[in-house]
Amino acid sequence: MKLVYFAWVRERIGHAEEEVDLPDDVVTVAGLLSWLAGRGEEYETALKHASAIRVAINQEHVAHDARIEGAREIALFPPMTGG
Amino acid sequence: MKLVYFAWVRERIGHAEEEVDLPDDVVTVAGLLSWLAGRGEEYETALKHASAIRVAINQEHVAHDARIEGAREIALFPPMTGG
Amino acid sequence: MSAPIEPAVRIQREDFDLAHESAALCAGRTDIGALVTFTGLCRDEAGTLAALELEHYPGMADAEIRRIARQAVERWPLSGLRVIHRYGKVRPGDNIVAVLAASRHRQAAFDAAAFMMDFLKTRAPFWKKEHRSDGSEGGWVEARDIDDEATQRWREPSAADR
Amino acid sequence: MSAPIEPAVRIQREDFDLAHESAALCAGRTDIGALVTFTGLCRDEAGTLAALELEHYPGMADAEIRRIARQAVERWPLSGLRVIHRYGKVRPGDNIVAVLAASRHRQAAFDAAAFMMDFLKTRAPFWKKEHRSDGSEGGWVEARDIDDEATQRWREPSAADR
């Protein structure tokens, strides 16, 4: 599965995208966030205020309780500041 | 005193402005409107729905109960349709 | 909040150029975060209108729009406010009126522009007469009750609109 | 009410010209009575900002703004709707975003433009990073709660807003 990161999430993790193989028990966005936070200090720092992280699956906003099965691309980013 | 007319008030009365000498007992806008309506058929037609007529004294909107003393210029016109 | 700015008001027969007006309002400034422009145009959906004749009350038209504009700059923290209203003959597709409101943030700019238009519609001394394509006179455009109602929403303190 | 029109959405690095966009929206049409434009600009009141870096999520930025724009054209009777959002580096005074909404009457045009901006601010995947004049990094601009709150007012049926 492809993960993409933007803004300070990207900066703190240290790269803009990666391919990951998820364990079978990671089935929701919330599960993905806590699994990622355990992958190292940079992930832990980037995701420590998990509730502030916005998530899109296949380029559509989703809530943290959304299921991730069938996702091709999951994006993590801070609240948006465009406009 | 100078009276000025606009839009269909002007068209019905037949001229755009005139000087008038008001009787002493005409002291409000409402009084002016009924005095004018008695000046001839064209005035009567123009002013027959008196409540629809808008009035400005010295280029400021006023209500029909406004006093007219001190007025240099009184304008009568229909509801506005600019913008 | 700094002192209210001086609004710019013009009543003119000639057309105006929105781009030119926007550029003049924003030139050399870095304190404008939001610019809202409203342009009112001459419509002719039925295809029967040759022109609108815009009659106005010279002097009062300018004075009344300035009175409305002064209320707007006192009510919202604007960086710029510009109003242009044409008179004379306009054809379908032509510009009639423009309001430009600039501020730090968008809500003040949106509110000020909408406020200007609501009051301009019901208080600025302009009247529209239709000239039909078949040569006949179409008569005077009637005022719409909805325009009077639109002004009512501004009666509340502005904080309640946010 | 006729079928909703197709909104035009562009995500681009280059600047845009509001006059050109307005002209394109209105060209040859006589059914537009009201055009509201919103322009968002890069502000720098303190004089300490060298530039804003606008990061975006390619693909989703376009898709999300189209989703918002489709809601707008279904909710209001618009004759035209156009949205342009820039990415990359912008300097104080530069354009960032434009929304143009055209309709027969002004209220629909005002409402649609304000609605687009409220949702664009909170849902379109763009992030601003400050670069300071002294060469230091100013950090990421923080989202404002007031922008989330602004979207709440659109929850009611649109008739209640009028």
Q: Which residues of D touch C161 (CB under 8 A)?
A: none
pLDDT per residue over C121-159, tens digit each?
999 999 999 999 998 888 999 998 888 889 999 986 655
Measured in Å, how far apart are chain B's first and last C-alpha atoms? 30
C chain contacts of residue B79, beta-carbon cutoff 8 Å: 122, 142-143
Length of chain A, please? Answer: 83
Burial of C66-78, coded b for 16+ CB within 10 Å and e otherwise, reads ebbbebbbebbbb
Q: What is the ipTM of this complex?
A: 0.93
Strands A2-5 and A73-77: parallel
**Interface test mutation site (partner C, options B8, B60, B81, max chain C beta carbons within 10 A):** B81
State mean pLDDT over B54-83: 97
Domain of B64: which CATH number?
Answer: 3.10.20
- Encoding tokens for residue A13? 């993790």
Quick check: is D141 in a domain? no
CATH number of the structural domain spanning residue C33: 3.90.1170.40
SS3 sequence, chain C? CCCCCCCEEEEECCCCCHHHHHHHHHCCCCCCCEEEEEEEECCCCCCCEEEEEEEECCCHHHHHHHHHHHHHHHHCCEEEEEEEEECEEECCCCEEEEEEEEECCHHHHHHHHHHHHHHHHHHCCEEEEEEECCCCEEEECCCCHHHHHHHHCCCCCHHHHC
Positive or negative, the CA dihedral D74, D75, D80, D84 is negative
* Closest residue in B to C123 (Cα–Cα): B80
Which tokens belong to A9? 């999430």
d(CA C102, CA D38): 10
Q: Evaluate whether residue A3 is within a structural domain.
A: no
Which strands sit side by side in the sheet containing D126-132, from one edge to the other?
D88-90, D49-56, D126-132, D137-140
* Residue C133 token pair: 């394509």
Q: How far is CA B71 from CA B74, D46, D52, D81, in A?
A: 7, 51, 58, 49
Does residue B60 sit within a domain? yes
- What does the pLDDT average to over C53-63? 98
Q: Is residue B3 part of a domain?
A: no
Total domains in the fold of chain B: 1
- The answer as to whether A18 is a domain residue is no
From chain B, the residues in CB contact with C60 under 8 A are: 56, 59-60, 75
Q: How many residues does chain D have?
A: 162
User: Would you say residue C160 has pLDDT above 60?
Assistant: no
* Domain of B67, in residue numbers: 25-83
CA distances from B67 to B25, B31, B34, B63 (A): 12, 9, 14, 9
Q: Decide if D104 is inside a domain.
A: yes
Angstroms from D39 CA to nearest CA on chain C = 5
Please indicate, yes or no, if residue B18 is contained in any of the structural domains.
no
Cβ C41–D47 below 8 Å, yes or no? no
Per the CB < 8 Å rule, is D57 touching A7? Answer: no
Task: Kindly list the residues from chain D whose CB atom is less than 8 angstroms away from the CB atom of residue A6.
Answer: 55, 57, 125, 127
> Structural domain tally of chain D?
1
CB pairs under 8 A between A and D: 74
- Tens of pLDDT, residue by residue over C36-48, are 999 999 999 889 9
pLDDT in tens, A26-37: 999 999 999 999
**In-domain check, residue D22:** yes
pLDDT tens readout for residues C69-125: 999 999 999 999 999 999 999 999 999 999 999 999 999 999 999 999 999 999 999
Tell me whether residue C26 is in a domain: yes
> Does residue D49 form part of some domain?
no
- CA angle at C68 for the pair C66 and C74, rounded to the nearest 5°: 100
Stretch D137-143: mean pLDDT:
90
Task: Name the residue with tokens 């060209």.
Answer: D27
Select from A54, A50, A52, A51 the least CA-distant residue to A77: A54
Please state the rounded mean pLDDT for residues B46-71: 96
Instruction: Say if pTM beats, i.e. exceeds, 0.90.
Output: yes
pLDDT at C161 over 80: no
Pick from C97, C124, C127: CB nearest B7: C127
Scanning A37-76 for CB atoms below 8 A from D yields 56, 59-61, 75
C162, pLDDT greater than 60: no
Any domain includes A60: yes
pLDDT at position B69: 93
Is D156 part of any domain? no
Polymer length of chain C: 162
User: Is residue D158 very low, low, confident or very high in pLDDT (cuts 50, 70, 90)?
Assistant: low
Residue D154 inside a domain? The answer is: no
Whether D140 and A7 lie within 8 Å, measured CB to CB:
yes
Cα(D92)–Cα(D65) distance, integer angstroms: 24
Q: Is residue A54 part of a domain?
A: yes
Contact state of A82 with D120 under an 8 Å Cβ cutoff:
yes
| The residue to which tokens 């709150």 are assigned | D149
Any domain includes D64:
yes
* Chains C & D: contacts with CB separation below 8 Å: 107
pLDDT at D125: 98
Token duo for residue D28: 């040859």
Among D40, D127, D129, beta carbon nearest to A80: D127
List the beta bridge partners of residue D55: D127
Interatomic CA distance for residues A54 and A62, integer angstroms: 8
Instruction: Give A-chain residues touching D61 at CB under 8 angstroms.
Output: 82
* Position D32 confidence tier, pLDDT thresholds 50, 70, 90: very high
Nearest to D36 by CA among D28, D44, D26: D26
Domain assignment present for A14: no
Judge whether C117 is closer than 8 Å to chain B, CB to CB.
Answer: yes
Which domain covers residue D13, as residue numbers? 8-41+60-125
Give per-residue burial for B55-68: e unless 16+ CB within 10 Å, then b.
Answer: bbbebebbeeebeb
C125–B75 C-beta distance less than 8 A: yes
| pLDDT of res. D136 | 86
Is pLDDT at A54 greater than 60 in this prediction?
Answer: yes
